[in-house]
Structure 1
Amino acid sequence: MQRALLKVLVMATGHYRKKGDMKLENLRFLSSRQALADLAHFQTVLNQDLGLSGRKWVVFGGSYPGSLAAWYRMKYPHLAYVAVASSAPVNAVVNFPEYLEVVQASLASLARNRSTCPKTMKVAFDSLIQLLAYKENYEKLTEHFRLDV
């Protein structure tokens, strides 16, 4: 039996992103559906090149890649034998304050001064939200957080 272990990264940020090509019409390619289609094409071509046509893969992922693994198995059952999806949010929610509550509780449990850290994080996030409300701050924030690297 022939076996292989591959790691496929789905990247749309950092140095993998084309600079100056983040126009709205191009962002349509940065979707989970496109990532799944790209992986299906990659698998099909690689299987053909290796003489493994018809072989199914086992796909793994944790967090967002876990969601992709689960969705891949659902969308392409003829390509994926099984999916292992660890901590995978498979039901995307637009407004999900409960997530921040979990993060806040985690920060509080790890912080030396438990009463200060969550409050400081809230102030920081509130400040960031205020800055993002004005387009003229985008360049400054991009530079400050090194988002263009």
Structure 2
Amino acid sequence: MINQAKIEHSGLVDDFIGLYQALNKDNLHLLAEVYDDNICFIDPMHQVNGLNALTQYFAKLYQNIGYIHFEIKEVLQDDTQASLFWQMQYRHPKLNKGEVVRVDGMSQLKFHQRIYFHRDYFDLGQMLYEHLPCMGGLIRLLKDRAAK
């Protein structure tokens, strides 16, 4: 029975990975396939509670994204949780002169039948601030000085 549960949850994590490989602004309804109705989602910008709120949050995030791809680097999991290490690549017309931005991150998932807790860890500067027209140069300068 324990082995079957591991297989079931492994399938959930695989479904999660597959979902994020295909996710875009036109298929956000697919979030319901892996997330619990009472999902708690946290990232460096927001905390969102509930599947409807998460769907609306993603709709805003994906609104101007021309391209997004997640490359999963490593997955660690047991019967009730998983950690995924990834690199996100995306393109936004107002960031990095419309060129691809790469962000390294990690997702912590907790689940029973579906995922009820999802927390993302990533450098918000790497994702956003360093690619803003005015702030980017200043942030890179500050990072360089801090490294000396």
Bigger strand share: 2
Higher helix share: 1
After TM superposition, the score normalised by the length of structure 2 is 0.23
Larger Rg: 1
Q: State the structure with bigger RCO (CA 8 A, min sep 6), 1 or 2.
A: 2
TM-score by length of 1: 0.23
